[in-house]
């Protein structure tokens, strides 16, 4: 196992993650895949989620078991808690080089049937937590004179999927927030980018894809002829988070097997 990890590290060595302090927000399908890859690349990680079971699964994952990975349980639906998470993590890591924001939720229903509570819950987690975490991390990174942030947007930021009112609004808003933060912090050596996956098989999409005929219907919309897997996002996350992408900022990279081309 140690040998395998060593081989992976040398393969990703050119990205320069050895010893870097990384905060990963979210231990779901895409956050955990990103965290595993960053751990294998030699980064020192703190991973945050509200669900302790997911954090425990990640700690036990072979990719993280021998690496420098700590976890923090937190509910990211308030400004205060987001500030606390960033401050605590930066103190424990001795600075913050990279932020990956990978929490989000959806609740599919027509706009006319969407109560205020659902709108607010989705906007708070998907967009407000991105703002609160980004603002706190941005202050530290600007002061340090370097840093990179990668957010999880979605094809829903571009396409008008039915029954995605709050989710699409949160992701469209996120894309603009990413661009404004990127512009404001470019001169301080801080980059801010987003990856925008298409339908990817995680807990977020599991129940929806289990509906009769839905998997086939969704797959038919993808020119590549398959749905995404969590590992499909990893290369882009690592690149955008790395020093190799230091002149790339304010971009939204679609990882969707061509879904947004049709």
Ligand X SMILES: NC(=O)c1ccc[n+]([C@@H]2O[C@H](COP(=O)([O-])OP(=O)(O)OC[C@H]3O[C@@H](n4cnc5c(N)ncnc54)[C@H](O)[C@@H]3O)[C@@H](O)[C@H]2O)c1
CB 90 within 8 A of CB 140: yes
Nearer to ligand X, 96 or 130 (CB): 130
Applying CB under 6 A, does 75 fall inside the site for ligand X?
Answer: yes
Helix ranges (DSSP H) in the chain: 2-12, 29-40, 52-60, 62-65, 79-93, 116-123, 129-144, 165-185, 203-209, 214-220, 234-241
φ and ψ at residue 75, rounded to 5 degrees: -95, 115
Give the active site residue among 167, 199, 208, 247.
Answer: 167
- Judged by CB under 6 A, the stretch of 47-55, 57-65, 85-93, 180-188 that binds ligand X is 47-55
Applying CB under 6 A, does 28 fall inside the site for ligand X?
Answer: yes
Applying CB under 6 A, does 204 fall inside the site for ligand X?
Answer: yes
CB 172 within 8 A of CB 129: no
Of 20, 37, 49, 98, the one binding ligand X (CB under 6 A) is 49
Nearer to ligand X, 27 or 37 (CB): 27
Nearer to ligand X, 44 or 164 (CB): 164
Pattern 106-135, ligand X, x by CB under 6 A: -------------------x----------
SS3 at position 238: helix
Q: Is 151 one of the annotated active-site residues of the chain?
A: no
CB 63 within 8 A of CB 39: yes
CA distances 62 to 31, 39, 176, 177, Å, are: 16, 10, 37, 35
Of 18, 92, 184, 203, the one binding ligand X (CB under 6 A) is 203
Of 202, 234, 241, 252, the one binding ligand X (CB under 6 A) is 202
List residues with catalytic annotation: 167
């Amino acid at each position: 196992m140690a040998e395998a990890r060593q081989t992976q590290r040398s393969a990703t060595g050119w990205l320069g993650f050895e010893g870097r302090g990384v905060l990963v927000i979210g231990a779901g399908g895409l956050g955990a895949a990103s965290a595993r890859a960053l751990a294998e690349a030699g980064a020192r990680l703190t991973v945050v989620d509200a669900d302790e079971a997911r954090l425990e699964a990640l700690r036990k994952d072979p990719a993280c078991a021998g690496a420098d990975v700590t976890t923090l349980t937190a509910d990211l639906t308030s400004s205060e808690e987001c500030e606390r998470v960033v401050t605590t993590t930066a103190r424990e890591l001795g600075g913050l080089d990279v932020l990956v924001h990978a929490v989000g939720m959806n609740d599919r229903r027509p706009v006319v049937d969407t109560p205020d509570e659902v709108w607010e819950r989705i906007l708070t987690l998907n967009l407000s937590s991105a703002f609160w975490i980004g603002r706190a991390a941005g202050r530290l990174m600007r002061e340090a004179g370097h840093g990179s942030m990668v957010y999880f947007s979605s094809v829903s930021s571009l396409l008008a999927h039915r029954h995605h009112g709050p989710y699409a609004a949160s992701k469209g808003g996120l894309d603009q927030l990413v661009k404004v933060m990127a512009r404001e912090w470019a001169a301080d050596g801080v980059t801010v980018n987003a990856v925008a996956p298409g339908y990817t098989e995680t807990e977020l999409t599991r129940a929806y894809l289990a509906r009769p005929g839905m998997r086939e219907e969704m797959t038919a919309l993808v020119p590549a002829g398959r749905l995404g897997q969590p590992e499909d996002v990893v290369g882009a996350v690592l690149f955008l988070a790395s020093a190799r992408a230091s002149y790339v900022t304010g971009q939204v990279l679609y990882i969707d097997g061509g879904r947004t081309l049709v």
